[in-house]
Structure 1
Amino acid sequence: MTAVGSSILTALNAGSGIDTSALVSSLVSATREPKQAAITGRQSLNSSRISALASATSSLNTFANALTEVLSGAAYTGAASSNDASIASVTLLSGGSPSGLPAQLTVEQLASARVYSSAATSGATGSTVIGTGSFTLTNAAGEATTITLDSTNNTFAGLASAINAANTGVTARVVTDTQGTRLVFKGETGAANDFTISANADDSGSILGGMSFTSTSNAQNAKITLDGVAYEYASNTVDDAIPYLRIDLNKASPGTNVTLSMSQPTAGLSDLLKEFVSAYNTLMGALNTATATGADSSSAGVLNGVSGVRDMKRQLSAITSTQLASTGTYKTLADIGVSTNRDGTLKLDTVRLAAVMEADPEAITNMVNPKVATDGNPGLSKLMSTVRDNIEKEDGPLKTAQKQYDTLAKEFTKQLEDLDEKMANYEDHLTKVYAAMETRLSALKATQSYLEQQIEVWNNSGSN
């Protein structure tokens, strides 16, 4: 106020004309500054809260998304293995975890398909005419399919196309080599997919009339022994002998035991839990700083007292006691050595974790990272995603706080615009007032000057 008062005195400049422009500017500033400072102070705090809430939300999303991405990797899901993949190899199937492993497998016989080949016709090609008539395919159940040959399809290629189009499970192809051209027919693997083929010619002088077929492969089932129990399958790919495990039979080897097993990602999960605790503590530490209570408002955290952030911390702090699995000895993070400190950060008991990992690695893997997450067995990734979604739901405290501060930001902008308008009007009003005052003062000064002159005249006249 001293500076403003000094400016006003200078503007009045006793004994000379008044600088009304400077005077008005000083008076407007004296009125505007405290009001503008109050609004911008609240606006700055509100902007800091908006920024801090956005940062907290972004950090939470990054944390949950990164956890989901990491846990989807093979390093944290376990791996199925065979000690002799040349005989049988294994692959995990989606939907759950294999049970009953390790298991002993013997491949007694591979599944195969019936294959017929015609005699090679020297000098022929796929477009060579083979005559008219018909082909008959008869499957193992005695069902016959007849393929008729006429002028539209009576070539090697035409017959192969007609058989393939019949969709009987038998495929045909034309093969040409140094010996000539022949037809090769192949069925599906398995004894039940066996078939026979015969040719019936209309004109005995054609190739068709003299065509004969030789079987080069029999249709038979795969035969395996799994933990001493014999099984037969029509295919060399077995999906239902062990739940959620595909077994590919690659070679028959009677008398050779192949061990099928499941390795658990013990080391990987231990490292992951350590990283999870570290990342979680970084997030919680930032929230603690933002919500810290200080001796006064200047030392308090920018989000101190914000209910949405308190709710976020409350939900995050409940993670260690929330069930990740509905059955078994280990159901929560607390059961395997993760506890919550008083400030909401986490602590990992590595000795406890190592002990439970050694005791039942499969149970820990299924608890932390189940093959299929369910409400009863969500695993760590689904749990974090659920917590994140609950924290960020539209009608929740966090979203409500964000909307409140966004509304306040618009209000503060409007208040500053209104202040600008009011001060512009105030400046116009003062300018008019002091302009009128200056006019009156000028008139008074002129009158004063006239009177002074008259008095001086009177005094001079009196002295004479």
Structure 2
Amino acid sequence: MTSVSSSILTALGAGSGIDTSSLVSSLVSATKEPRQTAITSRQTTNNARISALASASSSLDTFADALNSLLAGTGYSGTPASNDASIVAVSALPGGTPAGLPAQIVVNQLASARSLASTPVAGATSSTAVGEGQLTLTVAGKSQTITIDSTNNSYAGLAAAINNAGLGVTASVVTDTQGTRLVMKGPTGAANDISLTSVSGTDLAKFAWNGTDSATMASAGDPKDAIILLDGVEQHYAGNTIDSAIAYLRIDLNKAAPGTSVTLATTEPTTSMRDLMVEFVDAYNTLMKALNTATATGTDSSNAGVLNGESSIRDMKRQLSQIVSTQLTSTGTYKTLNDLGVSTNRDGTLSLDTTMLDKAIAADPTAITQMLNPSVKTDTNIGLAGLMDKVRTNIEKDGGPLASSQAQYKALATDLSDQLDKLDTQMADYQDQLTKVYSAMETRLSALKATQSYLEQQVALWTKSNN
């Protein structure tokens, strides 16, 4: 769209013979360009700093998140193990670290349940009627009435009613070459014996059992407790899965083996811990080298780092450098990364003395594992990932140096953009002003030329008449 000023400029030049349109454009450009260049140069630098700060923060987040994800894997924590899983298997329970390992366990007896079976009826099926009436099912002193009527009068209906009683008894219908029968199994444990007594219905009475076998219902197994010797102490349990013998350890009894001692211990991830330290130092050095490049002094501004002199990055590097001397645990011989052979170089990167690390792991693998990756983090045993989270939170906190610098540069970006808009407005006004000045000049020149032409004509007439 053509502006009023440009239209006037196009019309100029008729009186003076000067290209005033080009002259005004040159004057505006000469005034605007240096100021615009200065602002855009500051914008370029400021945008680079905003990007570099965001990159530094993102790199720190990536480092901390990767460390958390890595240490969450099972390969970086002590793993309970049994030297004979066919007899006893073990696994860790959440919330803590198994204490008291290694331990010796002997399985003298597995827990078992009361099993009952009715006499097979040849030719019967699961849908064959069993008779209507009521039975009372009792387990460990708790009873429930089992009702059989026209809606569930069958072997399958009776089994379903027992299963739905909510007393932990499992019933099923078995059909084989001998016929069809009802099979029941109660919970394991000596205290969890079951009985089924007749309340009404003559036909249902054949399924009753109250401690004595009959011609129609017999016991196929007695309820017993599991009996173990744990470090020589006899213990009884109702089931074959034990969660309370050793804190935070699940013990699964798979087979009775009187006289056979099974060792329960913790297999420490010594190789994983060594690899962890090597990878940690490498990843830390990658982050620190990037920060060093961003803050490099350089011989002049052309090769200095974009964040040269930036105080927030100096603060970040300072806080990161304190990691090696910060206590990860308050107890034991090994408390810091320095104790494991990690030291700081002059440029802020880390070095790892693997010989020193190997000696520490060999001397106390459990302590090293719990120091670097505790099963339960506490204020005094935060672990490596917890330490990085703490450092990251402190660096990125609201009102901290990093957040303040980011806010400062974002505010400057807005201000520089406003300055460019203001400059455009000022230059448009300046162009209009120049246009008016030269337009007035052209008007005066045109008037003077008209006067000159008139005078020349009069002089010519006077001269002619005098001749």
Q: Which TM-score applies when normalising by structure 1?
A: 0.90
Q: State the distance in 2 between where 1:333 and 1:207 align.
A: 74
Shift of 1:305: 2.9
Aligned 8 A contact 2:196 2:207 in 1 = no
| Partner Cα distance (2:94, 2:61) in 1 | 26
Partner amino acid, structure 2, of 1:49: R
Q: 1:434 aligns with which of 433, 438, 450?
A: 438
Question: Is the contact made by 2:134 and 2:204 (CA closer than 8 Å) also made in structure 1?
Answer: no
Question: CA separation of 1:448/1:88 partners in 2, compared to 1, >3 Å: closer, same or farther?
Answer: same
Identity of aligned residues (%): 63
Matched, 1:195 2:199: no
Residues 173-252 of structure 1: matches in 2 within 5 Å? 173-199=172-198, 201-203=200-202, 212-252=216-256
Question: Counterparts of 1:61 and 1:46 in 2: how far apart (Å)?
Answer: 23
Q: Indicate the residue corresponding to 2:296 in structure 1.
A: 292
Give the aligned residue type for 1:323.
Q
- Matched positions, count: 451
Letter in 1 for 2:338: A
Q: Is the 8 A contact 1:131 1:207 kept in 2?
A: no
Deviation larger for 162-171 or 51-60: 162-171
Contact 1:200-1:208 within 8 A present in 2 as well:
no
1:461 to partner: Cα distance: 8.4
**Residue equivalent to 1:170:** 169
SS in 2 for 1:154: coil
**1:208 shift after superposition:** 6.0
- Secondary structure at the aligned position of 1:192 is classed as coil
Q: Which residue of 1 aligns with 2:20?
A: 20
Q: How does 1:242-281 map to 2 (within 5 A)?
A: 242-281=246-285
Counterpart mapping for 1:296-445 below 5 A: 296-445=300-449
1:116 aligned partner: 116
SS at 2:188's partner residue?
Answer: coil
Shift of residue 458, structure 1, vs aligned partner:
7.1
Query: Cα RMSD between the aligned structures?
Result: 2.6
Unmatched tracts of structure 1, length 5 or more: 1-11
Q: Residue by residue, what CA displacement relative to the aligned partner does 1:239-265 show, whole Å, maximum 9, x if unpaired?
A: 222222211111111122222221111
| Alignment partners' CA distance in 2, 1:205 and 1:175 | 18
Letter paired with 2:381 = N
CA spacing shift, 1:442–1:430, aligned 2, 3 Å: same
For 2:361 and 2:205, locate their aligned partners in 1 and report how far apart those are by CA, in whole Å.
75
- The answer on 1:151 being equivalent to 2:150 is yes
Deviation string for 1:37-92 (max 9, x for gaps)? 11111111110111001101110110000001111112211322222211111112
| Residues 107, 252 of structure 1: 8 Å contact kept | yes
Q: Does the CA-based 8 Å contact 2:241-2:253 persist in structure 1?
A: yes
Match of 1:99 in 2: 99
Q: Give the equivalent residue in structure 2 for 1:132.
A: 132
1:332-377 per-position Cα deviation (integer Å, ceiling 9, x unaligned): 1111111222332212121211111111111000000111222111
Change (3 A) 1:172 1:29: same
Q: 290-299 vs 358-367, which deviates more?
A: 290-299
* Distance (whole Å) between structure 2 residues aligned to residue 121 and residue 395 of structure 1: 83
Q: Cα deviations across residues 104-131 of structure 1 (Å, max 9, x unaligned)?
A: 2221111111110111222222332211
Report the AA paired with residue 250 of structure 2.
R
Look up the SS of the partner of 2:191 in the other structure.
helix
1:92-112, Cα deviation, whole Å (9 max, x unpaired):
222222222222222111111
Distance 2:404 2:151 in 1: 75
1:51 maps to 51
Q: Kindly provide the CA deviation profile for residues 211-240 of structure 1, in whole angstroms up to 9, marking residues without a partner as x.
A: 721211211111112222222211111122
**Displacement, 1:295?**
4.8
Displacement of 1:410 after TM fit? 1.3
The answer as to whether partners of 2:198 and 2:204 remain within 8 angstroms in 1 is no
How far is 1:322 from its partner?
A: 1.4
Shift of 1:453: 6.3
TM-aligned CA deviation for residue 394 of structure 1: 2.0
Q: In 2, are the aligned partners of 1:112 and 1:218 still within 8 Å (CA)?
A: yes
Structure 2: which 5+ runs fail to align? 1-11, 209-213
In terms of mean alpha carbon deviation, does 356-365 or 246-255 score higher?
Answer: 246-255
Give, in angstroms, the shift of residue 311 of structure 1. 2.1
Cα distance in 2 between the residues matched to 1:224 and 1:217:
20
User: AA paired with 1:59?
Assistant: S
Of residues 319-328 and 291-300 in structure 1, the stretch that sits farther from structure 2 once superposed is: 291-300
SS in 2 for 1:393: coil
Residues 171-180 or 46-55, more deviating? 171-180
User: Deviation per CA, 1:366-422, whole angstroms, max 9, x where unpaired?
Assistant: 000111222111100111112112211222221121122112111111111111111
Report the CA distance between 1:319 and its aligned residue: 0.9
CA contact (8 A) 1:336 1:353 kept: yes
CA distance in 2, matches of 1:360, 1:458: 126
State how far apart, in whole Å, the 2-side matches of 1:206 and 1:314 are.
84
SS of 1:176's partner is strand
Aligned mates of 1:157, 1:63 — CA distance in 2 = 60
Q: 3-state SS of the aligned residue for 2:187?
A: coil
CA distance in 2, matches of 1:206, 1:68: 63
Q: 1:4 maps to what in 2? A: none
**Shift in Å, 1:179:** 2.6
Q: In structure 1, what is the Cα distance between the partners aligned to 2:100 and 2:261?
A: 16
Q: Closer, same or farther in 2 for the Cα pair 1:144/1:75, shift >3 Å?
A: closer
- What is the deviation of 1:204? 5.7
Query: Structure 1 94/369 Cα, relative in aligned 2: closer, same or farther at 3 Å?
Result: same
User: Shift in Å at residue 444 of structure 1?
Assistant: 2.7
**2 CA distance for matches of 1:40 and 1:397?**
26
